[in-house]
Amino acid sequence: MSEKAPLQWIRMALTPLPHMEETLSPTVIFWNHETGELAGEGVEQVQPLIDEYVKAGSITNRSGETIPVTLPLTDNTALGLVLSQHYWVSPQPVDAPEEPPHDTPLQ
C-alpha cells in the first residue's frame, strides 16, 4: 500500500476583516510552506503587509505574547498571525496553485 504524499500548497481565501474592508479586497493566495513561496492574484496585496511585520521584527498576539516575525513564509504561526490581523483566512491544502476563473467571484 503506497501512501499519498502530503500536499505542499495551501490555498488561502482571504476576506478582509470589517476594519480593513475599505482598504483591502477579498482575494486568494497560495502558499508553499516548504519553499516559502507565495503565488496567486493576491500576492501584490498581501506581500507588503507581510513585509511590514518582518521590518518590525515581531507581532503581538491577542494574549499579549510577542512572536518573532523573521521568516513568516516558512513559519505557519507567524504567517497566520500576520494574515489574521487583516483577514479572515480559509485555508485548504491543494496540489498546486491554480489560475482563478475570470468569470466568477472569489469563493
pLDDT digits (tens, 9 = 90+) for 12-61: 999 999 999 999 999 999 999 999 999 999 999 999 999 999 999 999 98
Cα–Cα dist 88/39, whole Å:
18
Enumerate the β-bridge partners of residue 39.
Answer: 30
59: exposed, middle or buried (Cβ count in 10 Å: 0-12, 13-18, 19+): buried
Q: What is the mean pLDDT of the chain?
A: 89
